[in-house]
Amino acid sequence: MRSNSITRKAITVPVVLATSLAGTAYAQSSVTLFGTVDMALAHGSGSISNLNQMASGDLAASRIGFRGQDDLGGSLKAGFWLESGVNADTGTGQATNINNQSTGIAGNGGLTFNRRSTISVGSNWGEIRLGREYVPQYMNLAVFDPFDLGGSGGSQVLNSAITGPTTVRASNSISYLYGHSFNASSIGYGPQGFSGSGFQFNAMYYMGENPSGTPTSKDGNGFGVRAGYSTGTFTVAGAVSRARYAAGDVRQNNAGASYDFGVVCAMGMYEWDKNGPVSARGWLVGAKIPAGAGAIRIAYSRYSTDAASSPTAKKWALGYVYTMSKRTALYTAIAHVSNGGTSASALDGAVTAPGKSSNGFDIGIRHNF
């Protein structure tokens, strides 16, 4: 008992001193360990080779993280979020990108907080975040896909995207968010990514951090802006972005909507991209249909560019998620992608020739903690 008492005093003293110096009464602070372990048996087939594998994160990305917040009084809060991607099938960590450029890959195999590493402060006026996390335009890809971008059924709009290192996340960023729960995940909370009904806004600026006076000094600099509105039943959102590179700027823009009819939640999104001289268009329509203790998921997605031969990938996907508890779910999905031109998109690790098709199948279990 004496040891526990000493530990509590050692932790409490800095808070008491800070409270005295600031002249403010501090409320309760909290730190949470959280994560997901998701593994599936997956099979991919293509015209060149097939693959059977144990895959990680086919329903939700496997991860481990720490988050916390401190109530500073007067509605002002501070918080942090450290989240690391994990390859659950092998126990290895995942790479991150330190400068939003193809040269910035680092840390593959070890623990890196590649998914999110932020510190933030906020109040009723919104939240300011610093660090690495999702870019605003990625959110519409995720929240308007019935498969949440996971496994063989995940949207082809993401799988074929030409938008480079900042398609999903950016490092060295500063963001402003409004209309969401403080220090919450940028996606995956509330109806289709919204914390409730009302207006939501997210703006981000990020830096490649290159020295000045060179042709590539602005590489990896960029911004994204997303705005949306939700009634809880109907949700609509749009986003625009631009990342700068000496080889040609990258633009990723999209819009999406969903409506929950009760018997089915229908959703769709449209994307228009540009990478230097190449332009691309993509879209998805899909639905989640409550069935028993889970939901059927169905989607059709397509992505094409105006490069030589007009490479095009089109995917059909069908799946089911069975909810065993608030934390655990079983799932399965099957998908078929057909390629045109020089497109050679393949599923679940298979390899297919340009213009040929590929099939994918997965069955797995996901547990949140």
User: Which residues constitute the domain of residue 16?
Assistant: 2-368
pLDDT for the residue 188: 53
pLDDT for the residue 6: 31
Can you give the pTM of this predicted structure?
0.89
CATH of the domain at 14: 2.40.160.10
pLDDT for the residue 28: 61
pLDDT for the residue 191: 40
pLDDT averaged per 10 residues in sequence order, the chain, 369 residues:
33 35 53 96 98 97 96 95 96 95 89 96 97 97 96 97 97 96 72 66 97 96 97 95 97 97 97 98 98 97 97 98 97 98 98 98 98
Distance, CA of 299 to CA of 288 (rounded, Å): 9
pLDDT for the residue 24: 44
> Residue for token digits 């769709």?
268
Number of neighbouring beta carbons within 10 Å of residue 160: 24
pLDDT for the residue 192: 43
The number of folded domains in the chain is 1
pLDDT for the residue 351: 98
Angle, CA of 114, 274 and 342, to the nearest 5°:
90
pLDDT for the residue 195: 55
8 A C-beta contact, residue 24 and residue 73: yes
pLDDT for the residue 27: 52
Q: What are phi and psi of 194, to 5 degrees?
A: -105, 145
